[in-house]
Structure 1
Amino acid sequence: MAIKPTIYKFKISLSDLNRDYYTALNLTVAQHPSETIERMMTRVLAYSLNVDEQLTFTKGLSSVEEPDIWLRGLDDQLHLWVDVGEPAQERIKKATRLAQTTKIYSFNSKSDTWWQQNQGAFSTLPVQVFQFPWEDIQRLAKLVSRTCDMSFTITGDSTYITAANGEVEIICRELQG
């Protein structure tokens, strides 16, 4: 019998000062059985940084043909492909052909090594690559409960996140633009 995903419900008050975008998000996020809480929260953070009415979480780890997050237009064109983690260059090369914009959000302890090994290959692709400090993502993961009210304030390259049991500031470092 297959292990089922764990479901989390988030109420997020989002203030994106960079885009003058303010909204309340009600997100239901499925944590894949093989996914860490840190990876799931990086997906939530990436979603918040790119929020749009058409933006959706995909099947993610359950479907290797899909990104973690995408934005499809009303005409079903793929406008945005977002991968979380350290994807292979071949996967991103394919993504850049399918989507108008491709973004990667790297976050874990092996992120620096992955970037050093792949920077040359990615430099030829039209992809934006960002990195979150692993320690900050770990602190963010500690704020999570199955039902969670949070506030995200995005300004410059910082996202300030508050929850009932604490707060964290996460700096989004652009590795390739």
Structure 2
Amino acid sequence: MALKSIVYKAQLQIADMDRALYADHALTLARHPSETDERLMMRVLAFALSVPADDLRGRLEFAAGLSDTDEPDLWQRDLTGELVQWIEVGQPDDRRLAKACGRSEQVRLWAYASSVPIWWQALQGKVARLDNLEVWQVPTEASRALAGLAARSMQLQITVQDGHIWVSDAQQSVELEPLSLKARRSSR
């Protein structure tokens, strides 16, 4: 018998001073049986740091991710169905990223885990030509601390100022500063 996904609910209060974005979001997330709390919380973080200020070009939504190899973790489609944002969490290979860059205006990757430096060293040259790709590394200690905030029902406050991010619930707070491994050079 196959294991079923577990449903998580998250109430996010986002105050992103770097983007002048202040919003509340109610999220329902399906945690794949093979997914860890750390990866789940990285998806929540990716949402908070990528959600647009308005829905004029479509909504940012959780896609099938682990359940479907043809879909990212999150995506934003405009009203015509064209992909505006393709967002990955983890350490995908260069072929997956190249395919995503060909399909979407912007591809954003949030890498985490202690193996990121080794993975990035092997991947960096292969993705250098992908102008619409940006890659961020979340420090291992921070991604692990975020996992400690995971609960079936979460109320999280996410504050962003000058590149520093604070994620907190009623009991604890996690501070992190993602490292830019690759900046996006242009948009299509």
Contact 2:18–2:163 at 8 Å: present in 1 too? Answer: no
Q: TM-score, normalised by structure 2?
A: 0.92
Hey, what's the Cα distance between the residues in 2 that align with 1:119 and 1:135? 23
Q: Which runs of 5+ in 1 are unaligned?
A: none
- Asked whether 1:133 is paired with 2:128, we answer no
Q: TM-score, normalised by structure 1?
A: 0.97
Higher mean Cα deviation, 63-72 or 115-124? 115-124
Give the aligned CA root-mean-square deviation in angstroms.
0.9
Q: Which runs of 5+ in 2 are unaligned?
A: 184-188
Higher mean Cα deviation, 153-162 or 36-45? 153-162
Counting matched residue pairs gives: 177
3-state DSSP of counterpart to 2:102: helix
Task: Output one character per residue of 1:66-103: Cα deviation in whole Å (capped at 9) or x when no partner.
Answer: 01000000111101111111111001111111001111
Task: Output one character per residue of 1:34-72: Cα deviation in whole Å (capped at 9) or x when no partner.
Answer: 111101100110010011341000011000000100000
| Alpha-carbon shift at residue 122 of structure 1 (Å) | 1.2
Report the counterpart of residue 62 of structure 1 in structure 2: 67
Contact 1:150–1:161 at 8 Å: present in 2 too? Answer: yes
Report the counterpart of residue 124 of structure 1 in structure 2: 129
Report the counterpart of residue 172 of structure 1 in structure 2: 178
- Choose from 142, 161, 168 the match for 1:162: 168
Identity %: 36
Contact 1:14–1:23 at 8 Å: present in 2 too? Answer: yes
